[in-house]
Amino acid sequence: MIDLRSDTVTRPSQAMRDAMACATVGDDVYGEDPTVNRLQDMLAALLGKTAALFVPSGTMANQLSIRAQTQPGQEVIVESTAHIVRYEQGAAAALSGVQLHGVRGERGLLTAEQVETAIRPNDPHTIPTALICLENTHNSGGGSIYPLPTIEAIRSVAQRHGIPMHLDGARLFNAVVATGVSAADYAQHFETVSVCLSKGLGAPVGSLIATNDLTLLGKLRRFRRMYGGAMRQAGILAAAGMYALEHNIARLKEDHEHANRLAQILHKIPSVALNPAHVETNIILFDVKNNDHSPAEIVAALKQEGVLINAIGRRSFRAVTHLDISGGGIEEAGHIFTAILTR
C-alpha cells in the first residue's frame, strides 16, 4: 500500500529501533531518565528555549499549554479549523473549562487585524481573552506556513494586550525546512511551543512543550501528571525522538518535493480542483468535481488499487507525504489517481 492518509503512519527505521533498544533509562517522574532529559535539552536548544517537557502526544502538549496558561471561564483565540478545534475532542472546554473563540483564517492563517478584533474588551459583560494559539504549519490549511512577519505582528498585538501565545508546532520543522527560518526564530514569539515527533519526523510516539518560564514548566509538569501523561522509563521512547531530531529534519525537504510532484500530477486530472501553489510542505488538499462517486467510493476504489488517502468533506480529500513514501511511490500513486479519477 502507498499510504498517504497521514505522516503519522510512518514506522521506525531499523536505526531508530536500535537507538530505542540501547537507550539508557531511569524514572522520568523523578526526572531521572537521562535519555528523556537529553531529548528535552535538545529540543529546547533547537527552539532557543530554556527547557522542554516530554509528553505522549501532540494533543496533550496543546492541552497542557492551554491548561497552564488559562483559568476556567476564560477564552482562547484560535483559528476556526485548527487542530485544537477540530481534532482534540473538545478538550479545552472539558479539561480547562475555557471557551474557544474560533476565527476563520485564510488557509488556516490569521492576521494581526483579525486577532486584534477577536480580543474581548476589558468589560464586566464579556469573557476575558487569556491566550492566543497559532498553528504552524496548519494541517487543515493544507500545510500552510505562517509568514514570520505575520507572527511578529500578532505578537505585537498580544503584548500590547498582555496576552500570552501558544504555538501548535506539530509540524514546525516542515515550516523550518521550507522557509529556511530557524525554529528559534519562530518560537521566540510564544510562551509555549509544542512540537510533534511522530508526524514527519518519524518517531513512533511523543511530543514536547518548550518554554522559557520555569514556573510555567512546573505547572506543565504537574498537569502532565494530572492528565495521565507522566511516564516512567520513557527513555526508550525519547531515544526515538532524539534520533528523529538528529536525522529526520533535513530530509523533510524530500517530502515537500514529493508532495509538489503529486500535486502537479493531480492538477492535470480534469476532475480535480487543486492550486499547486498552495502545496507549501507535505500536505495536499484537493477537490474532486463532476464525479458521480461518493468520497467513500473514491477512497475505496483507490484502496483497491493500492493507495490510501482520507476524504475530509463532501468532495474534498487529503494526501500527506512522509518518509515511508519514495519518489517511485509518488509516480505509482499518480498513475492510480489518474486512472480512478478519469473513469
Q: Are strands 165-169 and 192-196 parallel, antiparallel or unpaired?
A: parallel
Query: How far apart (Å, rounded) are the C-alpha atoms in residues 251 and 100?
Result: 35
pLDDT tens digits, one per residue of 83-94: 999 999 999 999
Q: Which amino acid is at 323?
A: L
Please name every residue paired with 158 in a beta bridge, in sequence order, or none if there are none: none
pLDDT higher for 65 or 292? 65
**pLDDT above 90 covers what percent of the chain?**
98
Query: How far apart (Å, rounded) are the C-alpha atoms in residues 325 and 33?
Result: 34
pLDDT tens digits, one per residue of 186-213: 999 999 999 999 999 999 999 999 999 9
Residue 135: helix, strand or coil by DSSP? strand
Cell of 337: 489517481
Q: What's the number of CA atoms in the CB half-sphere (13 Å) around residue 338?
A: 14
Query: In this predicted structure, what is the pLDDT of residue 312?
Result: 95
Query: How far apart (Å, rounded) are the C-alpha atoms in residues 199 and 203?
Result: 7
Residue 45: helix, strand or coil by DSSP? helix
3-state secondary structure 61-72: HHHHHHHHHCCC
pLDDT tops 90 at residue 291: no
Mean pLDDT within 91-117: 98
Residue 204's nearest CA partner among 247, 249, 237, 168 is: 237
Mean pLDDT within 156-168: 98
Query: In this predicted structure, what is the pLDDT of residue 83?
Result: 98
pLDDT band at 292 (very low <50, low <70, confident <90, very high): confident
pLDDT tops 90 at residue 303: yes
Query: In this predicted structure, what is the pLDDT of residue 38?
Result: 98
Q: Are strands 307-308 and 316-320 parallel, antiparallel or unpaired?
A: unpaired
pLDDT band at 68 (very low <50, low <70, confident <90, very high): very high
**Which residues contact residue 246 at a Cβ distance below 8 angstroms, ignoring those fewer than 6 apart?**
none
**Cα-based distances in Å from 288 to 41, 225, 321:** 45, 45, 19
Query: How far apart (Å, rounded) are the C-alpha atoms in residues 300 and 27?
Result: 45
pLDDT tops 90 at residue 335: yes
pLDDT band at 3 (very low <50, low <70, confident <90, very high): very high
Query: How far apart (Å, rounded) are the C-alpha atoms in residues 54 and 218?
Result: 13
pLDDT tens digits, one per residue of 214-260: 999 999 999 999 999 999 999 999 999 999 999 999 999 999 999 99
Q: Give the chain's radius of gyration (CA, Å).
A: 20
Place of cell 523533510: 252
pLDDT tops 90 at residue 290: no
Mean pLDDT within 283-304: 94
pLDDT tens digits, one per residue of 42-67: 999 999 999 999 999 999 999 999 99
pLDDT band at 343 (very low <50, low <70, confident <90, very high): confident
Query: How far apart (Å, rounded) are the C-alpha atoms in residues 139 and 172?
Result: 11
